[in-house]
Amino acid sequence: MTQHVRPLYGPSTDFTATDIRDTARRLLDMEPLPPIVQAGHPVLRQHAAPFDGQIDDEELHALIERMREVMHAAPGVGLAAPQLGLPLQIAVLEDQYQIDPASAAARNREPLEFLAVLNPSYTAVGPESASFYEGCLSVSGYQAVVSRPSSVQLECLTPDGAPFEGVYYGWQARIVQHETDHLMGALYLDRAELRSLSSNAEHAARWSGPGIEDARAALGFLRS
In a 13 Å sphere around the CA of 223, the CA atoms on its Cβ side amount to: 4
C-alpha R_g of the chain: 18
Omega into 149 within 30° of 0, i.e. cis? no
Neighbours of 74 (CB within 10 A): 15
Q: CB-based contacts of 173: which residues, under 8 Å, 6+ apart?
A: 148, 149, 150, 151, 152
In one letter, which amino acid is 160? D
- Look up residue 154 and give its DSSP letter: E
- Look up residue 3 and give its DSSP letter: -
Is residue 69 among the annotated active site residues?
no
Q: How far apart are CA 198 and CA 195, in angstroms?
A: 9
Q: How far apart are CA 187 and CA 209, in angstroms?
A: 24
Contact 67, 90 (CB under 8 A): yes
Q: Which of 69, 113, 134, 179 is catalytic?
A: 179
DSSP string, 7-32: P---TT----HHHHHHHHHHHHH-SS
In one letter, which amino acid is 133? Y
Which of the residues are catalytic?
179
